[in-house]
Structure 1
């Protein structure tokens, strides 16, 4: 009888240990860090591989990297956070991504045209014979950054902080971290980090809240970087070959200076015109969902 009691106690102790271990991995900060670490590891490995090849092969490697990063994201939330991932579901993925690409294209093209109209930019066709190479290299850089950064910031970090402190805190913290993450880039200043905080962090966060879909925010992010690169404008301080060469005239507050378009006041103002309606639509949708629940 004593042996049986002892055996039951041992089983209960094991059960408590397993429960504590499970609770540890289900804590939002833990699965956020674990998932981000896995995604960064994959991104780092494939960046090294992509740097050694060119053309279509580099694009294929980037697509493989994206697939593996998304897989890590799904596995992290499924087995550590113990929740489903409707925000990265294959359903309506194409439509959401296209809508995001259109939104990002309109935003960046519109901002560049306004700066050009104010005398800050002048564009000239680069006349390069390797147009396909420029297109592929621009797509590779933009696509890789969009997938990795959205999975980490809007996918893992946003939802972990949302679970701990709510959506407003999640939007504020992810936007802040997104701005700080760009401080080490060429031409970066305190102003450019603040500009990234507002125009990219808040806009991409609002886009995710509006659609509750990572494909949309990835599409927007991709088009943002790709359009800047194709126009020959530095992408967050990174020089771009581009299909055009851009001549910059005037104050850095208008043109963004060495940091590029994101350092300009124009997209900062424009991002608010996009973000505010998205946040309002998200709040209305949330209230509608809450009202539809049974009381």
Structure 2
């Protein structure tokens, strides 16, 4: 008996590139749509926090829809059991790496601490955007891109390709350099290692949020070329751009590259 010829749609769905594109679209499409609708329907003073949180919820639903309908499996990487513990671990890892980076920079004379600003509830407002960024980027780069490539080409290829694409996504940012791209790629490898250890995204999301929040809102420094804001601590990066990261911030620093690369290399890959 002749084997039925695969349909065009089934062949397309079996193609890794098609699956990645569909996954990225379904996961991220809610972000620009939510922001555009909010800007058109709601006055600016009332567009604080909630559009980002709404977009984060829609990203979560979009990724689950992709996994169930395109990947034909359950999204166990987003299971809520153990979520708080894994998020907490990720937050500690991200905050610890940032604190260690600034400590080493201070020891090298490349960071000067000037004092502490008064704590304010406004320092919590950026969390909404950082939660959205952490969720969207981790679901896209670790959930979709890493996941599809690993199932198609294996873990090593998935680590390299997902980290490379993650770093290249930061090319438009101000102050980007070869060193900055190397740091972001090393961070992508670390995130892949965290994902491979737990096979869940929560620890990766926690690390991502904590890194961005601590750099910007604790150390008042530039994040991936985005302008610095007044956070909890006052300080100044001084001297050679290879240490300070220049306009890109500490994510373009040789110190950050070494610390992240060592952590990524030392982190176990399997649960």
| Shorter-chain TM-score above 0.5 | yes
1:255 to 241, 244, 250: 244
Q: Look up the match of 1:195.
A: 183
Q: Look up the match of 1:274.
A: 263
Answering whether residue 193 of structure 2 is matched by residue 223 of structure 1, we say no
**More helix, by proportion:** 1
For 1:89-168, what aligned pairs fall within 5 Å after superposition? Answer: 89-125=79-115, 127=117, 131-137=120-126, 139-168=127-156
Aligned residue pairs, count: 265
**RMSD, aligned α-carbons:** 2.3
Q: Look up the match of 1:208.
A: 195
Structure showing greater Rg: 1
* Structure 2 gap segments, 5+ residues each: none
CA distance in structure 1 between the aligned counterparts of 2:241 and 2:234, rounded to whole angstroms: 18
SS at match of 1:282: coil
The normalised TM-score by structure 1 is: 0.82
Q: Look up the match of 1:292.
A: none
Deviates more, 1:35-44 or 1:256-265: 35-44
Q: Is the Cα contact below 8 Å between 1:26 and 1:80 reproduced in 2?
A: no
* Structure 1 gap segments, 5+ residues each: 1-11, 286-295
Deviates more, 1:239-248 or 1:254-263: 239-248
Q: Look up the match of 2:76.
A: 86
CA distance in structure 1 between the aligned counterparts of 2:88 and 2:55, rounded to whole angstroms: 20
1:167-219 superposed Cα distances (whole Å, 9 cap, x missing partner): 00000001111111111101111221122112x11111111111211011000
The normalised TM-score by structure 2 is: 0.89
